[in-house]
Amino acid sequence: MEVYRADEPKPLYRVLDEEGSPVGPVPDLAEDRLVGMYRGMVLARTFDERALNLQRQGRIGTYAPFSGQEAAQIGSFAVLEKDDWVFPSYRELAGLIYHGLPMERALLYSMGHPDGAKVPEDSRMFPVQIVIASQLLHAVGAGWACRLKGERSVAVSYFGDGATSEGDFHEALNLASVFSVPVVFFCQNNGWAISVPVSHQMRSATVAQRAVAYGIEGIRVDGNDVLAVYEGMLRAVDRARAGEGPTLVEAVTYRLGPHTTADDPTRYRDEEELKRWREQRDPIVRFRKFLEKRGIWSEEQERTEWERARRMVDEAVVRAESYPKADPSFAFEHVYALMTPDLSNQRDEWRARASRREGMQ
């Protein structure tokens, strides 16, 4: 009797080793595409570090850092087209910015401004989703609509390893499988669901092999190898466009910072583990070494690029902090398409109190 064992890991696909040397076929990408992906990673790291500092200074609210996961995001978003639907969680700002989200909008979101949830009108990116795993079902719906309308667009849902413990994850994969929906489920497995390690979340050896239960393809890539992520995502997207159904992609990566700025990872994470990932597996360092070995990147370009990224982020901070303040009435008026009497009364009561406060000043 042949028995399938869930504790047998699915192989990890890699293109580059930690020193940036190829260990597999390198994607056929033009030099400007490779350099553009690297610049996107540099900008993302610069933005993330600045946003973390802004939160510590009290200039933005709670923030979810993504440093360490730039390759997983840039490598996957590099495959997408403008007509594809993107359903992110709260840790995909690197990819969203690379895909066209203005950095000031990302900052406005953490400032509590309603315009922080607005995306460019020419894009199909959805706003940040805080509710764990619900965006997977939204992606299935969008992908299903694309198929029914005869469009070649695909839908992509981004989520973390913790989301795979939610019922919505399983319902989304099952529905997408049954109706052969053109959707890609992209899991950034960064090892921790806040303070809960992956080993305490599931008995399966990998997230990718969970695809077997739903009769779909599962791909597991080194999430700190931007070229491996690109190749895995390209296969998944091509399958979806060709009508071959959904794919579950697991990008094995690591978050260098806290879960959010409200978290203290030193209480549950080993310092040696963090040091190992930071010093030996940084996705930006790995890709830079690859570009240098190819002769398309230099120390001067490196210095110039980080300076350029800092200027861009500084300018975005200025735009965000000088943005017109929002009318608090928005909180009452945008709960339902039509305001309920209770909400209308609450809004009027708030306005009356605000008016009295202004009169006392």
Which residues are tagged catalytic?
255, 259, 268
The DSSP bridge partners found for residue 189 are 252
Closest among 163, 271, 267, 157 to 207, alpha carbons compared: 163
- Cβ partners under 8 Å of residue 113, min gap 6: 323, 326
Assign 251 to helix, strand or coil: strand
* Contact (Cβ atoms closer than 8 angstroms) between residue 203 and residue 154: no
Report how far residue 321's alpha carbon sits from residue 211's, in angstroms, rounded to the nearest whole number.
Answer: 44
List the Cα angle 148/153/159 in 5-degree steps.
105
Tell me the CA end-to-end span of the chain in Å, nearest whole number. 81
DSSP for 268-311 reads: TS-HHHHHHHHHH--HHHHHHHHHHHTTS--HHHHHHHHHHHHH
